[in-house]
Copies of this chain bind each other. A is one copy, B any other.
Amino acid sequence: MKKERRSFIKKAGLGAAAIGAGIATSAVPVIAKEKKFRWKMVTTWPPHFPVLGEGADLFAKWCDEMSNGRLKITVYGGGELVPPLGVFDAVSQGTVEMGHGAAYYWAGKAPASQFFAAVPFGLDAQGMNAWILTGGGMKLWEEVYAPFNVKPLLGGNTGVQAGGWFNKEINSISDYKGLKMRIPGLGGKVVAKAGGNAVLVAGGEIYTNLDRGVIDATEWVGPYHDLKMGFYKAAKYYYWPGWHEPGTALEITVGKKAWDSLPKDLQAIVEAAAYRSNMWMLSEFESKNEAALEELVNKHHVKVKMFPESVLKELKKLSKEVLEELAAKDPMSKKVYEHFLKFKKSKNAWDALTEEQYQKFKHL
């Protein structure tokens, strides 16, 4: 009986208001607000993938809690509903309401998207947050995604990533000649410019490729993930720092139609959940990576190596070439690159007096 009643009330649309006409003015908005949203979020990560997939799960949980069940989002791992690299299209076409991933995966559709994930020798996490959230970056990101009817939200950050796993030492830039390395995106273009062979290998196949010598090197994320992947069994050296991804931003995307269908309070809830997810993910990485690194070094005897300064200098020069070529080919990339560069210049000057000094005085 109860179920039938509820179903009737739902269908009637007006709910309680339809009954007690005398109080309709007060009760209508109350009931109308109770519209339930049952959304799907597809992700580029394996289901419940540490930190990244967990962040997506938490985002959904927070939306559920804050909306008291009015916005329930079911999170799907990559491949469960659409392939990992089909996430953007699914959101764009309205097949699902939301996506979770990183903007550089969509470089083929919108080259400028790469600036909102990771730029070699670009901004770190604090810089990406400042640029995107209060420095004008978000407006540009929205402009890049607008033709696809997708609204971007900043949803996380990995912090400075690891430089990667190598089976040979990198002592000069010439050591990149002929190096077969799994490294996607702009970083891959830089490695190719250095004479290397940047190859794409899906996450699940990296270990075998490295172990069998099909590739000589790979980058992935950082110690917390790399430990789980077992790379230490297949590669000798763990190189630092991740010049190619100094603060990779993660994104939460919403289809325009889905976003517009949300009442204002649920829109605000989705935005705040994205902020919380952003801060949670970075904090989680920052508090878990070191313990994993220590396990790699102390238990698995991994050799931690730094890229020589001369190599970083060359890689930085090549990165600039890669970015300028991108800007020359694509007007939107040019627009974003110029904004990014201007912000980066100002942030560098600020960091020189603040965070750079902080990093120095910890050694005193």
* Cβ contacts under 8 Å, A124 to chain B: 355, 358
Does residue A135 face the partner (Cβ distance < 8 Å to B)? Answer: yes
Smallest CB-CB separation from A271: which chain B residue? B276
User: CB-defined interface of A264-282 with B at 8 Å, one 1/0 digit per residue?
Assistant: 1100110111011011101
List residues of A (68-93) whose CB comes within 8 Å of B's CBs: 68
Q: How close is A135's CB to chain B, nearest CB, in angstroms?
A: 4
Contact check, A364 vs B313: say whether CB atoms are below 8 A apart: yes
Q: Tell me whether A284 and B353 are in contact in the complex, defined as CB-CB below 8 angstroms, given that A124-B358, A272-B66 are known contacts.
A: no
* Interchain CB contact under 8 A, B5 and A27: no
Identical copies of this chain, number: 2
| Cα A31 to Cα B211 with chains together (Å) | 62
Interface size on A, residues (CB 8 A): 90
Indicate with 1 or 0, residue by residue over A15-36, a CB within 8 angstroms of chain B CB atoms. 1110110110111001101100
Query: Does any Cβ of B come within 8 Å of A95's Cβ?
Result: no
Give the nearest-CB partner of A21 in chain B: B19
Question: Across the interface, which residues of B come within 8 angstroms of A313, CB to CB?
Answer: 364
Please determine whether B160 and A358 come into contact, CB atoms closer than 8 angstroms: yes
Hey, which chain B residues are within 8 Å of A126, CB to CB?
125-126, 159, 282, 286
Secondary structure dominating the interface of A: helix
Q: Is A9 an interface residue (CB 8 A)?
A: yes
**A127 lies within 8 A of chain B by Cβ:** yes
Is B286 a contact of A241 with CB atoms below 8 Å? no
In the complex, A108→B14 CA distance in Å? 56
Q: Judging by beta carbons under 8 Å apart, are B127 and A309 in contact?
A: no
By beta carbon, the residue of chain B nearest A130 is B286
Q: A135 touches which one: B26, B268, B283 (CB < 8 A)?
A: B283
CB distance from A322 to the nearest CB of B (A): 16
- Residues facing B in A348-364 (CB within 8 A) are 348-351, 353-359, 361-362, 364
What is the distance, in angstroms, from A219's C-beta to the closest C-beta of chain B? Answer: 14
In the bound complex, CA of A131 to CA of B290 (Å): 13
Interface residues of A in 147-168 (CB under 8 A from B): 159-160, 162
- Say yes or no: A357-B160 contact (C-beta < 8 A), given A65-B265, A126-B126: yes
Q: Taking beta carbons and an 8 Å cutoff, which residues of A are in contact with B? A: 2, 5-6, 9, 15-17, 19-20, 22-23, 25-27, 30-31, 33-34, 62, 65-68, 121, 124-127, 129-131, 133-135, 159-160, 162, 240-243, 246-247, 263-265, 268-269, 271-273, 275-276, 278-280, 282-284, 286-291, 293-294, 304, 306, 309, 312-313, 316, 343, 346-351, 353-359, 361-362, 364
